[in-house]
Amino acid sequence: MAEVATRPKLVRRNSFWLALSLVLMVVSSIVASAVQTSGYTVTVKDMSWETSNGESMSALLYKPNAVSADNKAPAIVVAHGWWNNKEMQDANYVELARRGYVVLSIDMYGHGDSDYLKYSDLAANGTGMYDGVKLLATLPYVDTSKIGVSGHSNGARAANFSVAIDNAADKPLIAAVFLVDNDPVYRDSANDNAYFNMYGDRDTGLVADQYDEFFFRSYSAEGVRLTSPRDYIGTDNAQSFLNYGVDPTKDGEKRDANTIYDDGGSIRVVYTPAQTHPWGTISAQTVSDQIAFWQEAFGAPTAIDSGSQTWQWKELFTTLGLIGFMIFLLAFARALLTTRAFAGLKAEQPVATVNTRKGLAWFWGGLLVSALFSGFSYVLLSQASWMSGIAFNAVPTIFTQGAVFFIAFWAAINGVAAIVIMGLSYLLFGRRNGLAPRALGLLPGWRKFFQALGLAAVTVAAAYLIVFFFSWLLHTDFRWWVIAVKDFGPDKLWIGLLYVPFFLVYFLANSVAINVFNRFTLRGKEWLNTLVLALVNALAPIVLVVAQYTTFFITGEPIPGFSGIASIWLFPVILILAATAVLSRKLYRATGNPYIGGFISAAVVTLVAVTNTLTVVY
């Protein structure tokens, strides 16, 4: 009788979580839309057009409603960094459009919805940025004497490419440049590598982070590093930039950071915030510096103090939407268990393994070995030359998304290691102590295995249907900083087929390990079990990131031999590993089937990965 009474209660509880997930996603989308349109005083257009080099380019156009052919406004092209997409510039396009600028946020070639990037043609039309400049120059409501470019990381490199193209144009179009987290061009390779002023009379600004993982270092002729990013402002490179290209050993004055210099024809400024490279996309200080620069360079169509910013509300609510998306995956999957098609997957809650001292030793020992293997394998892969060739697309392979291959291959290695650890645990302990893998769901039978696959497919499809709907209706998605759930073109499904087998190996093995071989009660509390397993799942990446940035902040440089990009790639991994552990644990409690959570996790992680990175063709 208790069983009968409990089931309706569980259904009602799940209905609450399903409703909450939908409310979070709806509210997230509505508020994010209101913020990015400044209360619907800015019109957002999702654009795609054929460029002069025959490629298709994608962008978001932000047009203030007050702008017209009779009331022209300055316009700015903004660009994301490598392995990102146009939505990563949301802090900038929200704030600039709010102040009356026309803003075009592009997907650089190879990213988002733009055509793929040819590895042999990295600089094509400024990686797409100059195509954006030319488009803005044709719009009747744009003041063509005030077109600017700005980008983060490789988006800043795209700006440098675009300036070089603009210098050779019959009619230059770019009036100002703002670089974030990438070096300006200091020297003229066509003139004995002498210092020069590539930017001419354009207003030019720079954000040089004191803890940038990649840029703002000085080197000797032999390639020995002489200065770290936090010493940048005192270097010859920085002083030459601030002095309009003179050789600082022969001419020019000593100039400081965070000061706008004006030679009467154009301005120069270098901002040096104490932050890291990836933080530049989500930094209120960098956004403030960006706004201050454009207000100085072009004037502000709508005068709003640079410190008054609203984009953080968009970030908050898209984060709530991301949380809602994760809750939906769990609650919708559990709701499907009440349908005729998937009712056969329901099961009694599996009994936890007895907490003997020896059993707990195997439990904690297995977790420790798994975490150590995960951390060491990641570092070793990041140092392997063969992997670097694939990860950075320097070597032609079928894996045209090199960064995704790196993470997927590492995940698969850890999946295989988990299988080995589970096998040893069963042979040396579990079998002798009554562990019955079939009873715990390891061998549910082929029918339930394929039912699990079907339930996962329906769940992921339903979740992404919501994502596509709000993208179409309000131009919003669900994201926080470096992790985003967004819409995608059908090509990404085909690309995903290359990587989903790797992620399946990991997430299926991980779900089995968490649920079948680690069902030990900790103080008799299931939430404590889940919390510990989620934390241990993400432990190795957490330790690596903490070690990397502790070293960086103390010494001024990352850990020798552990690259900055390797630690940056771990930021979303931490969140993903913790969240998927919770998802698989809770689905297992409802079904006794460890494969449902593994299938859902592998599918969603694959889609998130392939839609938020660079695709290269050879």
- Is the same domain home to 148 and 203? yes
Burial 576-587 (b: 16+ CB within 10 A, else e): bbbbbbbbbbbb
CA distance 522 to 121: 56
Q: Which domain-ending residue is among 273, 308, 343?
A: 308
Query: Is the pLDDT reported for residue 126 higher than 70?
Result: no
Angstrom distance (rounded) from CA 126 to CA 439: 60
First to last CA, the chain: 65
Give the per-residue pLDDT at 5.
46
Q: Are 239 and 387 in the same domain?
A: no
The closest alpha carbon to 613, from 85, 191, 206, 42, belongs to 85
597 is a domain residue = yes
- For 252, 395, 435, 512, the CA distances from 578, given in Å and listed in that order, are 53, 33, 26, 15
- Whether 31 is in a domain gets the answer no
Residues 255 and 332 in one domain: no
Look up residue 240 and give its two tokens.
Answer: 């030459």
Is residue 303 domain-shared with residue 368, that is, in the same domain?
Answer: no
Q: How many Cβ atoms from other residues are within 10 Å of residue 234's Cβ?
A: 13
Instruction: Please answer whether residues 245 and 198 qualify as being in contact, where contact means their C-beta atoms are separated by less than 8 angstroms.
Output: yes
Note whether 236 and 331 are same-domain residues: no
Asked if residue 328 and residue 293 are part of one domain, the reply reads no
Would the pLDDT of 169 be above 60? yes
| Strands 117-118, 616-617: pairing kind | parallel
Q: Are 37 and 60 in contact (CB under 8 A)?
A: no
Is residue 349 in some structural domain? Answer: yes
Contact 76, 103 (CB under 8 A): yes
Q: Are residues 320 and 301 in the same domain?
A: no
**Per-residue pLDDT at 7:** 64
Residues 232 and 86 occupy one common structural domain: yes
Give me 32's structure tokens. 């994010």
> Among 325, 226, 343, which Cα is nearest to 575's?
325
Kindly report the average pLDDT of the chain as a whole number: 91
* pLDDT band (50, 70, 90) for residue 221: confident
In sequence order, the 6+-apart residues with CB closer than 8 A to the CB of 490 are: none
197 and 61 share one domain = yes
In this structure, the dihedral spanned by the alpha carbons of residues 92, 97, 100 and 103, taken in order and rounded to 10 degrees, is: 80
378 contacts 545 by C-beta, under 8 angstroms: no
Strands (E), 161-288: 176-180, 187-188, 194-195, 203-207, 218-219, 225-227, 261-262, 267-271
Residue 398 lies in a domain: yes
Cβ contact 401:614 at 8 Å: yes
Say if CB 565 and CB 597 are below 8 A apart.
Answer: no
Alpha helices in 395-445 (DSSP H): 402-425
Residue 170 has pLDDT above 90, yes or no: yes
Model confidence pLDDT, tens digit, residues 90-104: 999 999 999 999 999
The strand pair at 142-152 and 73-79 is best described as parallel
Structural domain includes residue 35: no
* Cα–Cα distance, 511 to 608 (Å, whole number): 19
528 pLDDT higher than 50 = yes
- Distance of alpha carbon 571 from alpha carbon 601, whole angstroms: 17
Q: How confident is the model at residue 187 (pLDDT cuts 50, 70, 90)?
A: very high
Burial call 482-516: b when 16+ CB within 10 Å, e when fewer? bbbbbbbeeebeebbebbbebbbbbbbbbbbbbbb
In the chain, what's the furthest Cα-to-Cα distance?
Answer: 91
CA distance 371 to 386: 24
Q: Name the DSSP letter for residue 614.
A: B
Count of helix runs (H) and strand runs (E) in the chain:
17, 17
Domain assignment present for 227? yes
* Percent of the chain predicted with pLDDT > 70: 92
Range of the domain at 107: 41-308
The pLDDT score that the predictor gives to residue 450 is 94
Token pair recorded at residue 428: 């040396």
Given a cut of 70, is residue 122 above it in pLDDT? no
The pLDDT value recorded for residue 360 is 66
Banded pLDDT at 426 (limits 50, 70, 90): confident
Q: Are residues 334 and 399 in the same domain?
A: yes
Residue 435 in domain: yes
**CA atoms within 13 Å, Cβ hemisphere of 127:** 29
Q: 3-class DSSP state for residue 158?
A: helix
Domain final residue, candidates 308, 335, 359: 308
Domain final position from 281, 308, 335:
308
Q: How do residues 52-79 score in pLDDT, each as one tens digit?
A: 888 899 999 999 999 999 999 999 999 9
By the 8 A CB rule, do 243 and 233 touch? no
Same domain (yes/no): 330, 264: no
504 within some domain: yes
Determine how β-strand 102-107 pairs with β-strand 56-64.
antiparallel
Strands 483-485 and 225-227: unpaired
Determine whether 141 is exposed, middle or buried from the number of CB atoms within 10 Å of its CB (0-12, 13-18, 19+). Answer: middle
Asked if 423 contacts 516 with a C-beta cutoff of 8 angstroms, the reply is no
Give the pLDDT band of residue 617 (cuts 50, 70, 90): confident
Alpha carbon distance 79, 426 (integer Å) = 52
Higher pLDDT, 364 or 322: 322
- Separation CA 462–CA 329 (nearest Å): 9
Q: How many domains does the chain divide into?
A: 2
For range 292-306, the mean pLDDT: 95
- Strand 194-195 versus strand 187-188 pairing type: antiparallel
The pLDDT, as a whole number, for residue 367 is 83
Distance CA 368, CA 242 (A): 52
What's the whole-number mean pLDDT along residues 497-502? 97
Q: How many CB atoms lie within 10 A of CB 532?
A: 17
Q: How far apart are CA 260 and CA 562, in angstroms?
A: 36
Domain identity same for 286 and 233: yes
**If you compute the radius of gyration of the chain from its CA atoms, what whole number of angstroms results?**
26
Q: Cα separation of 164 and 269, whole Å?
A: 20
The structure tokens listed for 127 are 């990686």
pLDDT per residue over 336-354, tens digit each?
999 999 998 887 655 555 5
Return the DSSP state at 354.
P
Query: Could you give the count of Cα atoms lying within 13 Å of 102 in the half-sphere of its Cβ?
Result: 29
The answer to whether residue 145 scores a pLDDT higher than 90 is yes
How many degrees, rounded to 5, is the angle at CA 59 between CA 57 and CA 60? 165
What is the average per-residue pLDDT within 386-411? 94
**235-268 tens-digit pLDDT:** 999 999 999 999 999 998 999 999 999 988 899 9
Work out the average pLDDT over 129-146.
Answer: 96
CATH number where 278 lies = 3.40.50.1820
| Phi, psi of 187, rounded to the nearest 5 degrees | -120, 155
Is the pLDDT at 525 greater than 50? The verdict is yes
pLDDT the model gives residue 127: 86
